[in-house]
Every structure is written in structure tokens, then in C-alpha cells.
């Protein structure tokens, strides 16, 4: 069945009030920090999510969880700095406030598989990666000539080609993360402009990068038979479990690191968590 939410955000607020008073007859026992995010989610209207994501569901089958409740619950987990879906599902079953604030009955909260099914509906592609897993190995970047120097950058580097590439290349609408951007734009960015939190005419953007060491070595394995032939340092294709990862050299910590770009595709969600905190 298609997700339907005829009551919209008002229905969520009514249900929250009735369920909240059932489990917390004396609301003043809750600390101020708890009331801060209760107020934030009380005004966080995600009812458009149900209509935006209707094409992601089938007209047949059982009634699904409301996408607005799934997205609200995921944002609540980010607000509480819970990154494990398994841990968050257990917290929903143990804490009534988290369940009813997400929009679920305390006795009927979603499981781990329901969350991952929701993530797969948002990601509009059958593959979890943008890059092919079988590719040629990349060469480590050179170190700086002196201690503390950054990686040398010349005219043939990737950084010098990035801006011309972005000027020529435009994101096509049917890209895997287009639905994430659409949810972000219609429910947060446009709303921030309407509330004068963002003035497009006076908007200046700046970008910076901080290297985060995620692994000590690349996760790859051989798919050729060069090792059996006595060649241990061939340049044949490798199978990468994280094809979006790339090498980097941290001149401050004086070590190589692996940085993944696949997490950047979910960048709007953490931005959302910081945006609605200002309401």
C-alpha cells in the first residue's frame, strides 16, 4: 500500500500529546535538555515526506511505516548522536519518549530491517556505490619535501581539474541521491528562506576539508592470477569493498589515511539536524 497521512503534522502533534501524557503524567520531571529537543521536533513538520516518497512504494502489499516518521526518527537519532541503527532500535523499544517523539506507538516500533529498507528507498539506485568495485589501484600521493609540508599540487592534479569539471558537468535529475536533495530542499532549505534564516541574495559559501583517518590500508583483493605466476607487484585491477575511498597524506599528523566520499552523499541529513535546531 501507498503511505498516506491525511492528518499531516497536526495528527502527529495530537498523537504525541495523548501518548506523552500517558507515559509522563508529570512532564516537569524531564530535564531541560530533553524539553529542548521535544520543542524542536514538535515544530518540525515532515508531512511532505509522505507525498514526496509515494513513488518509492508499491500499491500492493501491507501498509508501510510512514516515511515522515522514519525520517523523523532517524533525525532524532542523529540529534542524540546515536549512529548505530541496531542501538537506536533498542532505544526505541526501551524509551517511550523516543518512540512517540518519532511518531510510533511505544508497543509497535520499527526494527533494524525497516530502517535499512527506508534507506534503500531514499537511495535511488540498485548499487550502494557510485564507483565500480573492480578498478586499477591508485598510487599513493607524494609526501611534502619538508616536515609539515602539504602534498605538492601541480597543474595536473585533481584539485586543479575540479572547478572546470564542475562547470562542465551538471547533476542529472535521476541520480541516486536526488531524493535526498529534494527532501532537504523542500522541507528545510525553502522553509529556512521563508523564515528569513537564509537570504539567497546575501549568501556566500566557502568549503574546507578536514582529513579523517578511517583505515590504515585499502580494502582490496586481487582478481588476477599474477601472484601464482610469480608477480607480486602487478598493476592489474583489484576488487575494492569501498570503491569511493581514496588515499591522502596528512602533513600535520605525518601519516597516510583513507578518506571516503560516499558519506558525503548523506551530508544533507546532518545539515538538516543543525538547521532545524535553530527554530
118 and 182 both lie in a single domain: no
Domain encompassing residue 100? 8-122
- Is 156 inside a domain boundary? no
**In this structure, is residue 160 part of a structural domain?**
no
- Confidence (pTM): 0.73
State the pLDDT at residue 171: 62
Q: Is 269 exposed, middle or buried (0-12, 13-18, 19+ CB in 10 A)?
A: middle
Reading across the β-sheet that carries 220-222, which strands appear in turn?
134-135, 238-240, 220-222
Q: Is 181 inside any structural domain?
A: yes
pLDDT tens track for 20-55: 999 999 888 899 989 998 999 999 999 899 999 998
Q: Which residue has the cell 585533481?
A: 158
Whether 171 contacts 124, CB under 8 Å: no
Q: Binning pLDDT at 50, 70 and 90, where does residue 267 land?
A: very low
Residues 18 and 117 in one domain: yes
| Contact assessment for residue 270 and residue 261, using Cβ atoms and an 8 Å cutoff | no
Q: Would you state the pLDDT for residue 209?
A: 60
- Is 79 in the same domain as 139? no
Q: For residue 142, what are the contacts with CB-CB under 8 A and spacing of at least 6? A: 151, 152, 249
138, containing H or E segment: none
Q: Measure Cα distances from 65 to 24, 117, 144 in Å.
A: 25, 11, 53
State the average pLDDT over residues 161-178.
72
Amino acid at each position: 500500500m501507498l503511505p498516506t497521512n491525511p492528518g499531516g503534522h497536526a495528527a502527529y502533534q495530537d498523537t504525541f500529546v495523548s501518548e506523552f501524557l500517558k507515559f509522563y503524567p508529570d512532564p516537569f520531571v524531564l530535564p531541560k535538555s530533553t524539553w529542548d529537543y521535544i520543542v524542536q521536533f514538535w515544530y518540525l513538520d515532515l508531512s511532505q515526506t509522505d507525498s514526496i516518497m509515494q513513488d518509492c512504494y508499491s500499491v500492493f502489499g501491507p501498509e508501510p511505516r510512514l516515511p515522515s516518521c522514519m525520517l523523523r526518527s532517524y533525525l532524532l537519532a542523529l540529534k542524540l548522536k546515536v549512529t548505530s541503527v541496531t542501538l537506536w532500535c533498542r532505544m526505541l523499544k526501551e524509551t517511550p519518549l523516543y518512540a512517540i517523539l518519532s511518531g510510533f506507538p511505544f508497543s509497535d516500533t520499527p526494527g533494524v530491517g525497516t530502517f535499512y529498507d527506508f534507506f534503500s528507498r531514499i537511495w535511488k539506485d540498485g548499487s550502494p556505490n557510485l564507483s565500480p568495485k573492480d578498478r586499477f589501484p591508485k598510487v599513493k600521493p607524494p609526501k611534502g619535501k619538508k616536515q609539515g609540508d602539504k602534498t605538492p599540487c601541480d597543474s595536473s592534479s585533481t584539485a586543479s581539474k575540479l572547478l572546470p569539471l564542475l562547470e562542465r558537468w551538471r547533476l542529472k535529475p535521476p541520480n541516486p541521491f536526488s531524493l535526498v536533495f529534494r527532501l532537504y530542499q523542500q522541507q528545510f532549505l525553502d522553509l529556512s528562506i521563508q523564515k528569513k534564516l537564509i537570504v539567497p541574495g546575501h549568501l556566500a559559501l566557502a568549503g574546507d576539508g578536514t582529513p579523517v583517518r578511517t583505515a590504515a590500508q585499502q580494502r582490496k583483493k586481487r582478481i588476477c592470477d599474477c601472484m601464482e605466476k610469480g608477480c607480486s607487484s602487478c598493476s592489474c585491477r583489484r576488487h575494492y569493498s569501498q570503491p569511493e575511498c581514496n588515499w591522502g597524506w596528512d602533513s600535520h599528523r605525518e601519516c597516510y589515511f583513507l578518506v571516503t566520499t560516499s558519506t558525503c552523499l548523506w551530508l544533507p541529513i546532518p545539515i538538516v539536524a543543525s538547521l532545524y535546531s535553530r527554530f
